[in-house]
């Protein structure tokens, strides 16, 4: 049996006195797509941010590819790693944000080549060529020299996906990638994500797009109040949920 891509065991997280994650455990095997759904404030983004150590967890254990992300185990304790060491592990995890977070002072192409050339020291010509391939893949080869503000929201998000892919991640995290988009632009971004899933990328996706979850996800995880309430295949969780709270949530969003 191979090690799962993501393993979370009894993860808890507080902001001051506010408990945001309570005893969250989940496993994402390699090559699978897991979608996290749940009401606003249930801790979905926070969990995702813990996976690549943008937030620190207070308890539990979080591994990506079998390795702890922001910590190392020494004499029975978890010691936080330096920023540099964490950065090295983070570079294997791609992240796509709700607000895209493209670098506005760089062109689409430069956004994509930046990390490979700075972090991996990939030669300029090579990272350029790879960036062009990625832009091709997200259907934006003709916008390589555009600045983010010259692109539509959907195009910006596709560049952001290409930017994350340029680091050859073994895992992609998506935090509501289509929530900031006008409805008519949602489809193009979801299509890129579907293609990615098809090609076997391991993905952990926070989303409100139930049709995407139903079609693409291997597992749907319903979170509420910082807990995993229910998790399972989409046709169980989305079609015939066991928990009342899941049912109530679905009734609200699918109305």
Residues at the interface with ligand ATP (CB under 6 A) = 15, 18, 20, 38, 40-46
Binding test (CB under 5 A) with Mg ion, winner from 35, 36, 45, 197:
45
Beta pairing class for 6-15 and 71-74 = unpaired
CB of 164 to another protein, least distance (A): 7
Q: Could you identify the residue written with the tokens 């496993």? A: 27
Cβ atoms of 219 and 232 within 8 Å: the answer is: yes
| Pick 19 or 54: Cβ nearer another protein | 54
43 binds, among Mg ion, ligand ATP, another protein, none (CB under 5 to 8 A by kind): ligand ATP
Give yes or no for residue 84 binding another protein (CB under 8 A): yes
Say whether residue 102 binds another protein (CB under 8 A). Answer: yes
> Is residue 150 within the footprint of another protein (CB under 8 A)?
yes
149 scored as a contact of another protein (CB under 8 A): yes
52 lies in the binding site for another protein (CB under 8 A):
yes
Is 87 among the residues that bind another protein (CB under 8 A)?
A: yes
| Closer residue to another protein, CB minimum distance, 95 or 204 | 95
Asked whether the beta carbons of 144 and 111 are under 8 A apart, the reply is no
Contacting residue, 10, 22, 208, 214, with another protein by CB under 8 A: 208
Residue 188 beta carbon to Mg ion: minimum distance, rounded to whole angstroms: 22
Residues of this chain that interact with Mg ion (CB under 5 A) are 45
């Amino acid at each position: 049996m191979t090690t799962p891509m993501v393993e979370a065991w009894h993860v808890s997280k507080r902001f001051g006195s506010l408990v945001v994650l309570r005893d969250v455990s989940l496993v994402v095997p390699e090559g699978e797509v897991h979608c996290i759904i749940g009401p606003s404030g249930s801790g979905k983004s926070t969990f995702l941010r813990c996976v690549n150590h943008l937030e620190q967890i207070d308890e539990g254990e979080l591994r990506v590819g079998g390795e702890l992300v922001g910590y190392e185990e020494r004499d029975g304790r978890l010691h936080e790693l330096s920023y540099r060491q964490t950065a090295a592990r983070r570079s294997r995890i791609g992240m796509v944000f709700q607000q895209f977070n493209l670098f506005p002072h760089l062109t689409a192409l430069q956004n994509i080549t930046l990390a490979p050339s700075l972090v991996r020291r990939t030669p300029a010509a090579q990272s350029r060529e790879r960036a062009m391939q990625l832009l091709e893949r997200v259907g934006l080869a003709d916008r390589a020299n555009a600045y983010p503000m010259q692109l539509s929201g959907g195009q910006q998000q596709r560049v952001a996906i290409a930017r994350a892919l340029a680091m050859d991640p073994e895992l992609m995290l998506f935090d509501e990638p289509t929530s900031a988009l006008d409805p008519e632009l949602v489809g193009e971004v979801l299509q890129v994500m579907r293609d990615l899933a098809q090609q076997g990328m391991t993905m952990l996706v926070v989303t409100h797009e139930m049709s995407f979850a139903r079609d693409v996800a291997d597992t749907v995880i319903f979170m509420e109040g910082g807990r995993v309430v229910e998790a399972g295949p989409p046709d169980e969780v989305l079609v015939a949920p066991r928990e009342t709270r899941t049912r109530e949530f679905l009734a609200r969003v699918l109305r």
